[in-house]
Amino acid sequence: MPPLRRHQLAFVTADGWKNVLARTWGEPIKAGLTHWAAQGLPVVVTRQLPARANTAGRIALGVCLPETWERQRVALQLMPKQLSMFTEFPPLTASLGALSALERKAMRHLAASLAANHLQARVYGSVGWQTVTGLPYLHDHSDIDLWLAVKDAHAADTAVHFLQQVEGLKRRVDGELVFPDGSAVAWREWAAWRQGRCQRLLVKHLLGQELRDAMVCDKRQLQWEMAT
């Protein structure tokens, strides 16, 4: 099994779905999960319990159901052997079908600018789930949620520069910068911190989130220090 991280998709085995559906679920969750199992749709890795609280070694996962099943968020816990494969949410360029013509043009330009700087945006949230499942998630107030893997502070600054160029669309372009250790920062908060408008950052990781001070060393290596 690969190392777990946030925004990771996983596919559940037939035995895993049998275990899930045997539990007591109310409607409409039961119907939604039955559809997920029948279609072999993925689930997403969510916040994990600390090892001391998870002696059975279960993996925390989630399903975000669309409007068809009242936008319910469902928490699951499965054993590693009940998962067959891990994958990613799709890249931005593969996720434009449900967007307006203006949004598609802006996102293609964003993706090209990022690619020219060795960066790639992947979708999650409503756009991501709609792309992965083919089900209707997007509504008038949905954001375009992106996550970008960045190797260091310089790459994060570069990503933010291009993200800021697509402000003003009908849909808000939101999302996270994800560093090599799996820690993630909202790109807007990173921009505010770099501009001196805030002193601490909310850093999310596999086991939760923390408010931290951040220090950048020679623009290449990001080091976090716990806030006091």
Catalytically active residues are 143, 145
Nearest by Cα to 34 from 45, 15, 18: 18
Contact criterion met (CB below 8 Å) for 185 and 200: no
What are the tokens at 69? 């099943």
CB count in 10 Å sphere of residue 175: 24
User: Strand, helix or coil at 206?
Assistant: coil
CA atoms of 115 and 113, how far apart (whole Å): 6
Contact criterion met (CB below 8 Å) for 185 and 176: yes
CB count in 10 Å sphere of residue 213: 13
Cα angle 206, 208, 211 (rounded to 5 degrees) comes to 120
What are the tokens at 132? 């992965």
Residue 215's beta-bridge partner residues? 223
User: Strand, helix or coil at 26?
Assistant: coil
E strand or H helix at 19, and its extent?
helix 14-21
Backbone angles phi, psi at 5, to 5 degrees: -150, 165
